[in-house]
Amino acid sequence: MSIKHTFNKYFNTHSESSENHWDPNLQTRYFKTTKEKGFKTIEQLFKNSSSYKIVATSEEHGEISVTTKKGRKAFIVATVIMVRPFRTAVDFSVTTESMFPIDLGYSHNLIPKLYEQLKKDLTLIETNN
């Protein structure tokens, strides 16, 4: 991890997973499911948790917007895209609300936690192609 990556990890208020992210913990995850089932699973994950509140859902676009209710305030967007039959990509984008322009890695660390919760309900295929 370069100095730039370390700086961005801790001194930033936004993190998101992506296909070719420098941090393997924030690489896109692929699950063996359909877009509809993946979307419903993520929606239930947030509905069943007392830590999150769903703000908006768009099954058509495969996006769920969520805010945190406990602890540090954050805005989360989960994106579900079916790449091939029974191969669905899931990405998260997390932005923390803070008086300061840093969150000390909170947004960066929240994404792997969300993936771990999701792995309990869906079969993980891989992190990248």
Beta bridge partners of 34: none
Question: At 7, is the pLDDT very low, low, confident or very high (cuts 50, 70, 90)?
Answer: low
Share of the chain above pLDDT 90, in %: 74
Start-to-end CA distance of the chain, whole Å, equals 22
- Give the SS3 label for residue 96: strand
Quick check: 23 pLDDT over 80? yes
| Domain boundaries of the chain, sorted by first residue | 3-126
Determine the pLDDT at residue 41: 97
CATH number 3.30.310.220 given to 3-126: yes
Give per-residue pLDDT as tens, 115-128: 999 999 999 997 65
Question: What's at 28, amino acid-wise?
Answer: T
pLDDT for position 25: 92
d(CA 16, CA 44): 21
Mean pLDDT of 55-81: 95
pTM over 0.75: yes
